[in-house]
């Protein structure tokens, strides 16, 4: 699995996503666009590649924190490193008063549901998810990886 590990934000791909989000001029759009696409149901709908999986996972975390900042940021601080939560707080400070964020709040439940569907699909369907296909080959590590994805699904709720 190279630089990938079982927990969130402990791999290069996740950190690249964070850097790209921090550099983005429209951070709300960056997250929303990631989650807005329909979740594939069959291979004809498309496969979820590894990079896309990480993007969906990170977007789900940011969405959850942005929509319920006071409740979620302490939980995130307990789970993730200071660099990560500093980045999350920095993005929240930039987006919280924007019109795009106000619109996101109105559609928050839709995007939470989308995020959960994406996370379930990418973590439970090896036929559609390249990352799931890789992890499932190692049952012990798949279980740990899946527990981390399930934590994020609960976090989004």
Torsion of CA 13, 14, 20, 25, to 10 degrees: 150
Over 70: is that where the pLDDT of 7 sits?
no
Q: How confident is the model at residue 9 (pLDDT cuts 50, 70, 90)?
A: low
How many Å apart are CA 92 and CA 33, to the nearest integer?
17
pLDDT of res. 48:
92
Tell me: the pLDDT tens digits for 91-147? 999 999 999 999 999 999 999 999 999 999 999 999 999 999 999 999 998 998 899
How many Å apart are CA 146 and CA 18, to the nearest integer?
21
Q: Other CB atoms closer than 10 Å to residue 84's CB: what's the count?
A: 20
Q: How confident is the model at residue 152 (pLDDT cuts 50, 70, 90)?
A: very high
Mean pLDDT taken over the chain: 88
């Amino acid at each position: 699995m190279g630089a990938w590990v079982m927990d969130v934000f402990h791999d290069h791909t996740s950190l690249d996503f964070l850097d790209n989000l921090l550099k983005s001029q429209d951070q709300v759009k960056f997250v929303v666009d990631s989650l807005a696409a329909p979740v594939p149901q069959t291979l004809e709908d498309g496969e979820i590649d590894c990079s896309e999986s990480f993007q969906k996972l990170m977007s789900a975390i940011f969405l959850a924190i942005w929509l319920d900042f006071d409740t979620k940021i302490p939980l995130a601080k307990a789970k993730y490193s200071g660099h990560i939560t500093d980045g999350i707080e920095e993005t929240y400070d930039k987006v919280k008063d924007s019109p795009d964020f106000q619109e996101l709040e109105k559609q928050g439940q839709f995007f939470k549901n989308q995020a959960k569907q994406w996370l379930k699909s990418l973590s439970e369907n090896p036929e559609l998810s390249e990352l799931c296909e890789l992890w499932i080959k190692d049952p012990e590590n798949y279980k740990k990886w899946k527990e981390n994805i399930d934590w994020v699904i609960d976090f989004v709720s």
